[in-house]
Amino acid sequence: MKTEYGERDMLSPHDVPRVDSLLAQSTSLHVRRQHPKWWSEFDDAVFRARWVNGRDIGSVDTLRSIAEETGVPGDTVREVTLDGRDRSALFECFEEARRRGVTDVPTFVHQDDSLTGVHTTERLQQLVAESSSE
């Protein structure tokens, strides 16, 4: 992935500390719904914070900093921690994903077919080709 997407500075999975990303995911969902014009930039910044800089994206302070850096009001993260609606909505998204066959990360879904785990670009192209020809 580092080579294919030009992310030469990405840390390896072994170099990234384990974190609970539930708050980051809930905040992302909230930003997508409440501040859609900043969502893509926010998500990209969370990705870079985790996989390039090794920051703890489970930390309220880290997420608040990322939010403010990307134009999202910093109080957004506090709102998400105090209001359980985004967390509940995220769990609903997880359940919908399970119904669609997503059982692990990564899972690639194309039409009604899914492929779980890390695969080559060729295998992913094969999944799309097979699904599209049915």
Distance, CA of 76 to CA of 97 (rounded, Å): 25
Position 7 pLDDT exceeds 70: no
- Give the closest residue to 47 by CA, choosing from 77, 74, 24: 24
Ranking 36-45, 55-64, 107-116 by mean pLDDT, the lowest is: 107-116
**3-state SS, residue 4:** coil
Position 24 pLDDT exceeds 70: yes
Instruction: Return all residues near 126 (Cβ < 8 A) that are at least 6 apart.
Output: none
Reported pTM: 0.72
Task: Check if the beta carbon of residue 64 is closer than 8 Å to that of residue 77.
Answer: yes
Q: What is the pLDDT of residues 60-82, one digit of tens each?
A: 999 999 999 999 998 998 888 88
Instruction: Return all residues near 99 (Cβ < 8 A) that are at least 6 apart.
Output: none
Tokens found for residue 88: 């509940």
- Look-up: residue for tokens 């919908």? 96
Query: In this structure, what DSSP letter does residue 104 have?
Result: S
As a whole number, mean pLDDT of residues 110-124 equals 81
- All structural domains of the chain, each given as residue ranges with its CATH number in brackets, are 1-99 (1.10.472.60), 101-134 (no CATH)
As a whole number, mean pLDDT of residues 15-29 equals 87
Task: Check if the beta carbon of residue 77 is closer than 8 Å to that of residue 85.
Answer: no
Task: Check if the beta carbon of residue 53 is closer than 8 Å to that of residue 64.
Answer: no
- Look-up: residue for tokens 């997880």? 94
